[in-house]
Structure 1
Amino acid sequence: MLLSLWPVAASTARSDVKRDHCQEKCGNVSVPYPFGILERSCAMNDYFFLNCNSNDELFLGIGMPISNIELEGTLTLRIAAAFSCYNKTGIAPVSMSMTLGSGPFMFSNTRNIFTATGCDTSAQVTNNESTYGAACLSLCTENVEMSDRNPCSGSGCCQSSIPKGLKSLNILSSTLYYTNVSRFNLCGFAFLADNKSLNFSDWPLSRTPKDGKDATDVVIEWVVENKTCEQAEANTSAYACGANAECTYPEIDQGYRCSCNKGFEGNPYLKDGCKAISTVKNNKKKFVF
């Protein structure tokens, strides 16, 4: 399965964009600026222009549904798992490939973890540039209860971290035989998942593919563009941060983001999006009768 965000030419950032006519919700998902839907002028640039289809489903690129967007610099996608299953005719693995293109998006190395389940599962993950590769082996000889109370320790499950700045994934799950465990485990799965939302009880060893529903939440980091704050501030016409906002660096060590100054809150990407936090307190007098 291939999921892709096609590289597009990004237009100039516009923190003073007029938002009165822009729809800011697709289904149940809020779409704050710099993102935009329906009209390209509602997004900061073409990278942030998202697809809200006729069913009110929000997508990044092709086949990557979005369930949440945070102004702090993340969005959550739902992507399919790779798997391999054993039957009398042999083993037919289904791989998963995903690319985020050349824009400001990358897989979060702090939120996501590469995971495999199964009693005879060899899982591999690489990137398109061949600069990263990892593998883990999940083995067991008896049924293991997969639950949040039973941490992934290598018996029926294995995990591996991913590096900073990863923009593409190729995941493959493979297996050799199931002679001793076929009564309770016929399939192995491999996937990237948000460590905070991953529920191991959803991935018992008895699980088999569920017609496209074998998917996990994955967190994507985003920046405005891959420039330093000094470079961004020098180009005032394209600088993304609005009034009462400052340029900040994310932990992923790539590009920059905007955040409201201390004492202000709101959307730092809009011209006047950061509003002063009210310090007026309700000091109503209490009367005793």
Structure 2
Amino acid sequence: METTMQMQLAAAAAAALLLATGFTTAASAAQTESRGVGWGCPSKCGNVTIDYPFGIGENCALNRDFNLNCDGQDSIAKLWTTTHSHNSQTQKRESQITAIDYEKGQMDFVMPVSSFCYTESGKNLSVKPDWLNVPNAFTVSSKANTFFTVGCNTYGLFRSSKGGSKFSTGCVQICDRAPKKKDVGNCSGFGCCQTNIPAIGLRDIGAEARSLPFDKKVWKFNNCSYSFVAKNGWYDFIPEDLAHLRFDSAPLVINWAAGNQNQTCKSVDKDNGYVCGLNTECVETEFRCGYRCKCKDGYTGNPYRLHGCQSKDFLLYFLKIHSH
């Protein structure tokens, strides 16, 4: 009798949970579908977890900016954007995503390194600048990224635009010999320099490495210059990078905001187009370009789903009776 009663309680709790998540009535299903939370939407691509507002496939994402592609199978699959792109001299391509942080509203993009190489005679061997473009729902994080340039007799340009105006910043370094390990800190200016990303909510950025007038003595230990943007803490300069950089791409952090770019938590109309679900709070973004959502204290779940934030006490009760 006791076991039967426990089963009945568990069933009742499960029914209540389904009702709370909005899947048991036609009205709730219609609201949920409008949030892109449909059945059969993939929840994983490689090692990256996919959850709303992101999605893979039709009716799985908030909008086209959050719609992603998954290339491959199982743990080796790679996640790609559908509307963001890299532009180089030779090709335009989608951007790879290696991580999504739903709590911070950030994700890791992969951006190729820009390089400038020349021959022993001083002839330009190759010039490879690179650009990253993201749509309105995303911005390049100024707090989580740094612009690096590696080389001697080198300058690196960080290019971007804002409000229709183009601008560049960067750093330069001159050295007549190869630095040794005792000479360098973490990109201290001898063989490697760095600068901050402008904190103005950028959506298109470019990295370009260039060389100062040819010096054969420098060429012997550094025939290529490199520039790239990388997430803070990812890159540590070593003198060997002057002879051959250890990587050809680097991860950088992109902010994302599900709310309209022209709205903030103070200006949004919560009765018209508000993307946060029930039992949630609105969170301002780094540059106040749109907004994010989080569950209220005492609730847990996905704040972008209509009924995604559930009471922690209710869930604990459900799990407790279901475990007996």
| TM-score bracket for the superposition, by shorter chain length | 0.7 to 0.9
1:255 corresponding residue in structure 2: 290
Q: Which residue pairs with 1:3 in the alignment?
A: none
Q: Which of 202, 219, 223 lines up with 2:253 in the alignment? A: 219
Residue 100 (structure 2) aligned to one of 54, 65, 69: 69
Q: 1:26 aligns with which of 45, 59, 68?
A: 45
1:98 aligns with 2:136: no
Aligned to 2:207: 171
Shift of 1:199: 3.1
Maintained 8 Å contact 2:180/2:239: no
TM norm structure 1: 0.82
- Spell out structure 1 runs of 4+ moving beyond 6 A: 12-15
In 1, the alpha carbon distance for the partners of 2:181 and 2:137 equals 36
TM-score by length of 2: 0.74
**Aligned-partner Cα distance in 2 for 1:182–1:63:** 34
Asked if the contact 2:151–2:226 (Cα under 8 Å) also holds between the matched residues in 1, the reply is yes
SS in 2 for 1:241: coil
When residues 269 and 276 of structure 1 are mapped into structure 2, their CA distance, relative to the original with a 3 A threshold, is same
The share of aligned pairs that are identical, in percent, is 30
Shift of 1:230: 4.2
1:108, 1:96 → 2: CA distance?
Answer: 18
Which amino acid letter does the alignment assign opposite residue 99 of structure 1? N
Q: Structure 1, unaligned stretches of length 5 or more?
A: 1-11, 282-289
Deviation at 1:194, TM superposition (A): 0.4
Q: CA deviation at 1:127?
A: 1.4
* Alignment RMSD: 2.7
Greater helix share, structure number: 2
Corresponding residue SS for 1:41? coil
Deviations 1:92-120 (A, max 9, x none): 3211122113x211110000111101011
Unaligned runs of 5+ in 2: 1-30, 85-92, 318-324
**Cα offset, 1:228, TM superposition:** 2.1
1:43 shift after superposition: 0.3
8 Å CA contact 2:179, 2:239 repeated in 1? no
Deviates further, 157-166 or 16-25? 16-25
Q: Structure 1 residue 45: deviation in Å? A: 1.0
Aligned counterpart for 1:49 among listed residues 62, 67, 70: 67
Number of aligned residues:
263
Which stretch shows the higher mean deviation, 51-60 or 157-166?
51-60
